[in-house]
Amino acid sequence: MTPFSEPNTDPTDPPTPGVPSQEETITPNSAIDRLLADGIGLGRGTAGGWTEPPLLRDDFLDDGPIVRPCVPDRPATDADRYQFLGEIGRGGMGVVFKGRDPILGRDLAVKVLRPELVGRPESEQRFMEEVQVSGQLQHPGIVPVYDLGRRPDGRPFFTMKFVRGRTLSALLTDRPDPATDRPRFLADFQKACQTVAYAHSRGVIHRDLKPANIMIGPFGEVLVVDWGLAKVLTQGRGSEGSTTSETSADGAADEPAPIRTARTDVGIGSETTAGCVLGTPAFMPPEQAAGEVERLDERVDVFGLGAVLCVLLTGQPPYVSENRDTARQMSLRGDLAAAFARLDACGADAELIALCKRCLAPDREARPRHAGEVEAAVSAYLAGVEGRIRQAQMDRGKAEAAAAAERKRRQAQVGLAVSLVALVGLAAGAIWFIEGREARAREERAAQQARVRDGVESALDRLPDLYQRSLWVQAQAAVDQASDLVGPEGDPGLRAMVDAAARDAALLKELDRIRLGKATWQKNRLSFQEAPDRYAAAFRAAGFDVHGPDPTDVARRVAASPVRDYLIAGMDDWGFTEGADKARQQRICAVTAAATGQGWRLAVPAAWESHRQLAALYESIPPADRTPAVIEQIGWELERTKFGTGIGILEEGLRQFPGDFWICFRLGDAYRDDRRKKPALAAGVFRVAHTARPE
């Protein structure tokens, strides 16, 4: 299965449009067609067919919205607006892909309804309400929604900001103990409370708050994510007996789909069930576990915030059980004795423990009324902690001042004695001053050397990513920056490191230039003919004389090189180009085989004589050894000579390396071939190639 398609696996479900049934045979071409339909061109919505969004409370008015939200007819748009770059996650309702908007030039996340849920009105309604609710919740702590559309196969999708970061669950799990970095995580928890308080002010409850649904960005952003189980409360509702907007297509309030699905996130107790009871058993209050829909209000999320705080303080959720049904029974009974015992033993401040217990109260009337009260309590606690720190600093300052006064008094008492040894002290002071100045100079030199080393290492650390994207100008700039930091008279070790990086960068740039020249041989046939000699000269100039007297030493140094994979890829392209000179080809393959420990490379020269043998050799290569260069060269050789398996190898390579420039480039040529005549597929893979290397 490719990461861009999900076949219908439930035999009781009706066939999903655009997805093969179990009786169909999936041929390579049909598979790649689906790959391109899902992964490269993403259809947007057509006119009509959208449900009216649920109404949220106005941001500033308490008496309801002043404008009724609506969804106008959407004009048909370009089906290739968005590009897929790969699946990044999936849940009970949808599949999330990393996508790209080529018009605006930005990455984004695309969530698509799972294919097996198409045709289920309640599932589609819940999916639509998730995006419509999220789209109206505009807050820095909520991922913004960009667009809503429908795929050509009928599945709805929506696009949103692509969030980089880690879940709070993963960060808490990585702690050596629950007391580590507690102030930092409390600050993140306070921001999450602010976000949930905003949602409550708009009449929305999340219903699935847990550390796995809180994202921490690389610059301190705190986001509350996954609003798929959100519930919209009625305008002006009280705490009891209110209805909600959450109804299925047949009018049954809060009726779940007749299936059970699960989503698993990183961390303890993060499995979300979508069945008769919605939510995560380890984090839900009794009324939610009992399915008492009419009693669910903001205090459901207050319990969830308390559960998150419980994990932050103790390392475990309120209900700990390896069995989901057991955890649900514990939540149904409000069995919190073990959780409260862990809180009492966690060593946190009593004020913080008391707040957590209030939020986790089994009786919802004993909990804070909404997330705003929780956020205010956390803010007051943090302010109190800051005040105690300031007071401690002031007390320490007073103590230091008193000690200084005492020292002055004693100094006056011993002044006479000091005068008797003044000459001796003066001499000793001079010696101390000179030695201190020299010590400070040594420390400053060491600090400067450390700063230079950090700057050089930071510049060189960028090189692997720049090599991966073939950004040679930027790579040279990074090397020049490191060289300027070292200077001509700098540390010899750093200078050797920078010089080696400069040689590597120049070699990789030249190898890429040769490969591009060979690929465009129809415009420059001389480059194709001279490619073997140019490869030999480039490697020889960099100290890798493959045809020299000691190829074993060359293999050893290639294996030890920090750019080993790029050198092997260049030698692969060189060796596959040397088909006319078997001796030279055998020598190159022997070096790469010794450098990688992959014995199959020794059989390449003989297999190159017969396309059938070459295809058989490819099948014998372990999947882990099939690098993009191996796939591209063997697949293109078989395709160029009209051998049937070549295009299949390239298509499989696209599935394994969906963003590789060379595989897309060769596959586009294959689809453009007169005997295939697949211009749409050629355009699709060429578009991906252009995204990888716009120049």
The pLDDT tens digits of the residues spanning 133-190 come to 888 999 999 999 999 988 888 889 999 999 888 999 999 999 999 989 898 999 999 9
Average pLDDT, the chain: 77
The CB density around residue 536, as the number of other CB atoms within 10 Å, is 18
Q: What's the CA gap between 578 and 588, in Å, rounded?
A: 9
Q: What residues contact 318, with CB distance under 8 A and at least 6 apart?
A: 282, 283, 306, 307, 310, 331, 336, 339, 360
In the chain, % helix, strand, coil (3-state, to 5) comes to 55, 10, 35
pLDDT for the residue numbered 312: 95
- Taking 70 as the threshold, does the pLDDT of residue 637 lie above it? yes
Write the pLDDT tens digit of every residue in 3-32.
333 333 333 333 333 333 333 333 334 434
- Across 46-60, 218-232, 255-269, 445-459, which has the greatest mean pLDDT? 218-232
Tokens of 493: 């070790």
Total Cβ atoms within 10 A of residue 503: 15
The answer to whether 659 touches 692, Cβ cutoff 8 Å, is yes
**Per-residue pLDDT tens digits for 278-327:** 788 999 999 999 888 888 999 999 999 999 999 999 999 999 988 888 88
Residue-level pLDDT at 551: 84
Give the residue with greater pLDDT, 259 vs 72. Answer: 72
pLDDT at 693: 81
Phi, psi at 279, each rounded to 5°: 135, -170
Query: For the chain, how far is it from start to end, CA to CA, in angstroms?
Result: 32
How many CB atoms are closer than 10 A to CB 262?
A: 12
